[in-house]
C-alpha cells in the first residue's frame, strides 16, 4: 500500500533527456495508467519508481518518504514485463513461487501454496500449475507473469505493457479479464501502455506522456472529452478524431464556422457559455475536433450535407469506417458493416456540431467545447 | 489479367518430420481445397497459423510442389510451369530488398533482368511509383526507409511486371497499428485501380474483412467457408468461422432448450438467464434439446427499466471512449455486450439483458456445425 510521488524527476541518457521534470502524485490503491507513444518515456518513469534507474534530478517518494537511495530490491515493488521473463526450467508453480522464496521476501511453503492457489483461482489458471513455460500459449504465459507478481503483497505493482505481445483478439480478452480481477488488487498499480483502449478501460486516472513530459492528467472521460491539445485528441480514439480547419466569425448573438476545405459556412448551434468563451479567447482560426461517431452520412443528396467522395470503406470489427474526401481533407465516420459502397462514389456528410471541440489552429491547444461545464463537473465527480 | 481456379488441391510434406513436428506423418497440410477467384477479384485466405493458407499460396506461386490436384491461372494449368512463367507478382511479409540498390533500381530490377529497354522501364517505374506513393523515395536506399515505406516499395516491385495474379503473404504484419491501417487503405485503393486478381494471405480477420471481395476461411488445411465478408459474418457455417470472424468474438454458449407453454427458451447452466427462442427454430428444437447458442456482442442489448429481459449483474464495465463493453457472467462464461449508451455502469450494477433473438445462431454440440432452421 503506498502513495507514490514523483517530484520534478529528470532522467538523461547521455545527451538525450528521457524524462523532463516529471511530477506525479499517485494515490494509494489507485490504478494509474501511463499512456503515450513509443519512446515517450513511460517505461523510464516505471524504472525510476522501481529503482532500476536513478534520476539525475528530482525525488521519488513512497508514502512521503524519499526512496532515491533505496535500492530496487528494498523498495518492495512487483513488476510485470512485456516479455514475461519466466524461468524456462521451472514449472508455472515454481515460477509463481519464486518471489516468495527469495531471501528478502521469504515465506514458508504452506503460505506459498495457499497464496498460489488463491491467485491461480482468481486468474483461472489452476490447471496450468504443473506445466513448463514452453508448454504455454502466449496468453497463458502472460497470465503466469501477472500471477507471479500478484502472489506478493508489495507496496506497488508496476506493469510494463503486459498485453502488448498478444494479438488483437487475445489482448482484448485479457484486458477484460484484468479489468475483472482489478478490484481484488487493493494495491497501488502503475500500468504502462500505448493502447488507448487499455488506458481508457483500466485507468482510474491516466497520465499522457510525450517527449518525457506529462502532457495531460485526468480520468479517461476527462481526457477523451476535453483533450488538452490535438495530439492527445488524436491519441484517444480509433478511428482518429477528425480535425477540420476553418475560421470563426461572430455576428450579433450567432457564430459561424467556415470550413477551409470546400468553404461551406456552418451556423454553430447556440450555446451562450461557448460563444462567450470563444469570444474571450479571441478565437478565429480554429480546428474543429469531431469524433467519427459524430459525423453522419447519406448516399443521397440531403439538405445541409456536403458532397464528398468515398476514399475507403473498411470494417473495423463490429462496425466499419467510411473515409470521405473533400478537397484533400479526409473525414472519418462510423457506419455499419456490410454496406454496398464503392470507392470514389459520392457520399454526403454532415456534422453534429453540438459535439464539437475547438482547438487553436496555430498552437493546436484545446480552447473549449460544447457542454464543457457539464463534462467538467462529471469528470470532477469521477475523480472524487 | 486472369482468374484463378484451384481444384481438389492436396499438399503433404514428405520426410519432413523435423520441420513439421506437430503434423502427424500422414496429415495433409492442405486437403481437397477448391477455390475459384474471378478475374479482378480480391480473395483473402484467412486462418490461424499453420492452417495451410501460406502453403496454398506457395503452391500457386510455384514455390512448393503440388501433392495432388490442379491449379489454373486463367485457362492455363500451371502445375508444371516454372514460377517465372506463371505471370505472378509476389509481395511477402519480409521485404527482401536489395540493400545496395536504390528504391528505383529495386523496383526496376525484375524488368532489367528480363531485358526490357531502359525507356520503357523508366516509364513504368514513374507510372507505378505515384500509385504506391513512393515517388519521393526513388533515390533513397532501403535502409533509409520506414517499415511502411519498405512495404510500399515491395508492392510496387510486385506489380510493375503487370502480373496476371498478385500474391501477397501477410504484407502488413510487420507494421504497427496506425501504419498498418493506413497501408491497408492504400492496398485496397491500389487493387481497385489496377484491377488485378489478388490472393492475400492473412491471419488477421480484420484485414480480410476490410480488404477482400471474398474470404476463404481455412482450418487444419480444410476450407471451412468461402464467401463475401458479409456472408461469413452474418451467416457462418460453423462455430469455428463464427468465433474467428468478428472482434470481440461472437458469444457462443452451451444451452439447453426449455419448453414453456407453446414457447421455447434458451437456458444456461448456473444462470437464470432466459432468452426466447425465435420462432424460426421451432422445427429443429425440442424440450431438453442441447446445443450451442451464438450471438454477437452488438446483438445483446441493455433493456429499458420496464424491459422483460432477465435482470443480470454487471461483472465488468469497460469505457473505451468510442463505445462501452459490458461483461456478464452466464455460468462460467463471460457474455460480452457492446453499447454506445453513454451511461456509466460499474461492477455489481443490475441491468436488464435483452438478446436480439433473430440474430442468434445454433451450433451442434459435437461437430460445431450450424443447425439451421427448416
List the single residue in B189, B327, B338 with the smallest CB-CB distance to A318: B338
Residues of A contacting chain B (CB within 8 angstroms): 167-169, 172-173, 175-176, 179-180, 183, 196-197, 200-201, 220-221, 224, 236-238, 240, 291-293, 311-312, 314-320, 323, 334, 337-338, 343
Check residue B25 and give its pLDDT.
52
**Are B185 and A312 within 8 A, CB to CB?**
yes
- Sites in chain B below the pLDDT cut of 50: 20, 23
CA angle B112–B116–B122, rounded 5-degree value = 75
Last residue in a domain, options A234, A254, A280: A234
Check residue B1 and give its pLDDT.
65
Q: Are A312 and A343 in contact (CB under 8 A)?
A: yes
Q: What is the DSSP letter of B143?
A: G
Check residue B26 and give its pLDDT.
56
Question: Is residue A34 domain-shared with residue A167, that is, in the same domain?
Answer: yes
- The residue of chain A nearest to residue B296, with distances taken between CA atoms, is A318
> How far is A196 from chain B, CA to nearest CA, in Å?
8
**Are A318 and B298 within 8 A, CB to CB?**
yes
Question: Is residue A210 domain-shared with residue A260, that is, in the same domain?
Answer: no
DSSP per-residue letters across A268-336: PPP-HHHHHHHHHHT--EEEEEE-GGGEEEESS--TTPEEEEEEEEEE-SSSEEEEEEETTEEEEEEE-
CA A58 from chain centre, in angstroms, equals 25
Question: Is residue A196 domain-shared with residue A245, that is, in the same domain?
Answer: no
Q: Hunting for cell 458479409 — which residue is that?
A: B230
Q: Hunting for cell 464543457 — which residue is that?
A: A372
Tell me the C-alpha distance between B330 and B318, whole Å: 18
**Are A314 and B184 within 8 A, CB to CB?**
yes
Check residue B305 and give its pLDDT.
85
Residues of B within 8 A of A337 (CB-CB) are 209, 229-230, 233
> How far is A314 from chain B, CA to nearest CA, in Å?
4
pTM here is 0.89
- The residue of chain B nearest to residue A179, with distances taken between CA atoms, is B316
Q: Are B301 and B356 in contact (CB under 8 A)?
A: yes
List the single residue in A175, A221, A316 with the smallest CB-CB distance to B319: A221
Last residue in a domain, options A214, A234, A254: A234
CA distances from B78 to B55, B67, B69, B74 (A): 16, 14, 11, 10
Q: What is the pLDDT along chain A (384 residues), one digit of tens a residue?
A: 699 999 999 999 999 999 999 999 999 999 999 999 988 999 999 999 999 999 999 999 999 999 999 999 999 999 998 888 899 999 999 999 999 999 999 999 999 999 999 999 888 889 999 999 999 888 889 889 999 999 998 999 999 999 988 878 888 988 998 998 888 788 999 999 999 999 999 999 999 999 999 999 999 999 999 999 999 999 999 899 999 999 999 988 899 999 999 999 999 999 999 999 999 999 999 999 999 999 999 999 999 999 999 999 988 877 899 999 999 999 999 998 888 899 999 999 999 999 999 999 999 999 999 999 999 999 999 887
Domain CATH code at residue A272: 2.40.50.140
Strands B197-202 and B214-219: unpaired
> How many CB pairs below 8 A link A and B?
96
Pick from A306, A312, A357, A346: which is nearest to A332 by CA? A312
Question: Is residue A107 domain-shared with residue A246, that is, in the same domain?
Answer: no
Check residue B96 and give its pLDDT.
81
**Are B189 and A312 within 8 A, CB to CB?**
yes
Question: Is residue A99 domain-shared with residue A210, that is, in the same domain?
Answer: yes
Q: Hunting for cell 521519488 — which residue is that?
A: A60
Alpha helices of B330-374 — where are they, by DSSP H?
Answer: none
Q: Are A67 and A60 in contact (CB under 8 A)?
A: yes
Question: Is residue A280 domain-shared with residue A217, that is, in the same domain?
Answer: no
Check residue B182 and give its pLDDT.
84
Residues of B within 8 A of A220 (CB-CB) are 319, 321
> How far is A318 from chain B, CA to nearest CA, in Å?
6
Q: Which long-range CB contacts under 8 A does B340-347 form with residues at least 24 apart?
A: B340/A293, B341/B302, B344/A221, B344/B317, B344/B319, B345/B314, B345/B317, B346/B314, B346/B317, B347/A180, B347/A183, B347/B313, B347/B314, B347/B315, B347/B316, B347/B317
List the single residue in B233, B298, B321 with the smallest CB-CB distance to A220: B321
Question: Is residue A69 domain-shared with residue A154, that is, in the same domain?
Answer: yes
Question: Is residue A160 domain-shared with residue A262, that is, in the same domain?
Answer: no
Q: Hunting for cell 523496383 — which residue is that?
A: B107
> What is the ipTM, given to two decimal places?
0.88
- The residue of chain A nearest to residue B347, with distances taken between CA atoms, is A180
The CA radius of gyration of chain B, in Å to the nearest whole number, is: 25
The total of structural domains in chain A comes to: 2
Query: What angle in degrees, to the nearest 10, is found between the helix axes of B118-131 and B177-194?
Result: 120
Q: What is the DSSP letter of B228?
A: -
Question: Is residue A181 domain-shared with residue A272, that is, in the same domain?
Answer: no
Residues of B contacting chain A (CB within 8 angstroms): 178, 184-185, 188-189, 192, 204, 206, 209-211, 229-230, 233-234, 246-249, 296-298, 315-322, 325, 327, 334, 336, 338, 340, 344, 347
Domain of residue A329: give its range.
Answer: 240-383
Residues of A within 8 A of B194 (CB-CB) are none
Question: Is residue A262 domain-shared with residue A121, that is, in the same domain?
Answer: no
Domain CATH code at residue A118: 3.40.50.300
Tell me the C-alpha distance between A348 and A354, whole Å: 19
Last residue in a domain, options A216, A234, A252: A234
Question: Is residue A352 domain-shared with residue A222, that is, in the same domain?
Answer: no
Residues of A within 8 A of B206 (CB-CB) are 168, 315-317
Question: Is residue A86 domain-shared with residue A135, that is, in the same domain?
Answer: yes
Tell me the C-alpha distance between A218 and A72, whole Å: 29
Check residue A294 and give its pLDDT.
96
Amino acid at each position: 500500500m503506498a502513495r507514490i510521488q514523483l517530484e520534478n524527476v529528470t532522467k538523461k541518457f547521455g545527451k538525450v533527456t528521457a524524462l523532463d521534470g516529471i511530477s506525479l502524485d499517485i494515490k494509494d490503491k489507485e490504478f494509474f495508467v501511463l499512456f503515450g507513444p513509443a519512446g515517450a518515456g513511460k517505461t523510464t518513469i516505471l524504472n525510476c519508481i522501481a529503482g532500476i534507474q536513478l534520476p539525475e534530478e528530482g525525488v521519488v517518494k513512497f508514502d512521503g518518504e524519499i526512496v532515491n537511495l533505496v535500492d530496487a530490491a528494498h523498495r518492495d515493488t512487483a513488476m510485470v514485463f512485456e516479455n514475461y521473463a519466466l524461468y524456462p526450467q521451472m514449472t508455472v508453480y515454481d515460477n509463481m513461487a519464486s518471489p516468495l522464496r527469495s531471501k528478502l521476501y521469504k515465506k514458508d511453503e504452506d503460505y506459498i501454496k495457499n497464496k498460489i492457489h488463491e491467485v491461480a483461482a482468481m486468474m483461472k489458471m489452476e490447471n496450468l500449475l504443473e506445466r513448463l513455460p514452453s508448454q504455454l500459449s502466449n496468453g497463458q504465459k502472460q497470465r503466469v507473469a501477472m500471477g507471479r507478481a500478484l502472489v506478493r503483497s508489495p507496496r506497488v505493482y508496476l506493469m510494463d505493457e503486459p498485453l502488448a505481445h498478444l494479438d488483437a483478439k487475445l489482448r482484448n480478452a485479457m484486458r477484460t479479464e484484468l479489468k475483472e480481477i482489478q478490484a481484488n488488487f487493493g494495491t497501488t498499480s502503475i500500468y504502462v501502455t500505448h493502447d488507448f483502449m487499455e488506458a481508457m478501460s483500466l485507468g482510474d486516472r491516466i497520465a499522457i506522456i510525450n517527449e518525457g513530459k506529462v502532457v495531460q492528467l485526468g480520468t479517461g472521460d476527462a481526457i477523451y472529452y476535453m483533450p488538452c491539445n490535438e495530439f492527445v485528441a488524436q491519441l484517444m480514439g480509433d478511428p482518429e478524431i477528425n480535425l477540420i480547419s476553418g475560421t470563426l466569425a461572430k455576428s450579433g448573438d450567432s457564430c459561424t464556422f467556415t470550413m477551409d476545405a470546400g468553404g461551406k459556412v456552418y451556423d454553430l448551434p447556440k450555446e451562450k457559455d461557448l460563444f462567450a468563451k470563444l469570444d474571450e479567447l479571441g478565437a478565429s482560426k480554429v480546428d474543429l475536433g469531431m469524433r467519427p461517431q459524430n459525423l453522419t452520412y447519406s448516399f443521397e443528396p440531403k439538405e445541409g450535407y456536403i458532397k464528398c467522395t468515398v476514399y475507403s470503406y473498411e470494417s473495423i470489427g463490429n462496425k466499419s469506417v467510411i473515409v470521405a474526401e473533400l478537397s484533400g481533407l479526409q473525414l472519418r465516420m462510423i457506419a455499419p458493416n456490410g454496406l454496398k459502397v464503392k470507392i470514389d462514389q459520392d457520399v454526403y456528410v454532415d456534422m453534429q456540431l453540438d459535439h464539437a471541440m475547438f482547438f487553436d489552429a496555430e498552437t493546436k491547444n484545446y480552447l473549449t467545447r460544447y457542454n464543457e461545464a457539464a463534462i467538467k463537473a462529471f469528470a470532477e465527480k469521477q475523480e472524487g | 489479367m486472369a482468374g484463378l481456379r484451384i481444384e481438389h488441391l492436396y499438399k503433404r510434406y514428405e520426410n519432413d518430420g523435423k520441420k513439421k513436428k506437430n503434423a502427424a506423418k500422414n496429415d495433409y497440410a492442405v486437403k481437397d481445397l477448391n477455390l475459384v477467384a474471378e478475374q479482378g477479384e480480391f480473395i483473402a485466405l484467412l486462418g490461424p497459423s499453420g492452417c495451410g493458407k501460406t502453403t496454398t499460396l506457395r503452391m500457386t506461386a510455384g514455390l512448393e510442389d503440388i501433392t495432388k490436384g490442379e491449379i489454373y491461372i486463367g485457362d492455363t494449368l500451371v502445375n508444371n510451369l516454372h514460377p517465372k512463367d506463371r505471370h505472378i507478382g509476389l509481395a511477402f511479409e519480409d521485404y527482401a530488398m536489395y540493400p545496395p540498390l536504390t528504391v528505383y533500381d529495386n523496383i526496376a530490377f525484375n524488368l532489367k533482368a528480363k531485358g526490357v529497354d531502359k525507356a520503357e522501364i523508366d516509364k513504368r517505374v514513374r507510372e507505378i511509383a505515384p500509385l504506391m506513393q513512393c515517388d519521393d523515395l526513388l533515390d533513397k536506399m532501403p535502409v533509409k526507409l520506414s517499415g511502411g515505406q519498405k512495404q510500399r516499395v515491395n508492392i510496387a516491385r510486385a506489380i510493375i511486371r503487370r502480373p496476371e495474379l498478385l500474391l501477397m503473404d501477410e504484407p502488413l504484419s510487420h507494421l504497427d497499428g496506425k501504419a498498418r491501417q493506413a497501408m491497408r487503405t492504400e492496398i485496397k485503393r491500389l487493387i481497385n485501380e489496377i484491377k488485378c486478381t489478388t490472393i492475400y494471405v492473412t491471419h488477421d480477420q480484420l484485414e480480410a474483412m476490410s480488404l477482400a471481395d471474398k474470404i476463404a476461411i481455412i482450418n487444419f488445411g480444410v476450407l471451412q467457408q468461402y464467401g463475401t465478408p458479409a456472408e461469413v459474418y452474418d451467416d457462418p457455417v460453423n462455430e469455428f468461422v463464427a468465433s474467428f470472424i468478428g472482434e470481440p468474438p461472437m458469444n457462443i454458449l452451451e444451452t439447453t432448450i426449455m419448453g414453456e407453454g407453446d414457447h421455447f427458451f434458451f437456458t444456461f447452466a448456473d444462470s437464470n438467464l432466459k432468452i426466447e427462442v425465435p420462432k424460426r427454430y421451432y422445427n429443429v428444437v425440442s424440450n431438453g434439446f442441447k446445443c450451442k447458442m451464438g450471438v454477437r456482442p452488438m446483438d445483446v442489448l441493455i433493456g429499458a427499466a420496464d424491459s422483460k429481459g432477465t435482470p443480470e449483474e454487471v461483472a465488468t464495465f469497460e469505457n473505451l471512449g468510442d463505445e462501452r463493453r459490458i461483461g456478464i457472467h452466464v455460468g462460467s462464461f463471460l457474455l460480452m455486450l457492446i453499447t454506445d449508451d453513454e451511461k456509466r455502469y460499474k461492477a455489481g450494477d443490475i441491468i436488464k439483458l435483452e438478446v436480439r433473438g433473430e440474430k442468434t445462431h445454433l451450433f451442434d454440440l459435437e461437430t460445431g456445425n450450424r443447425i439451421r432452421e427448416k
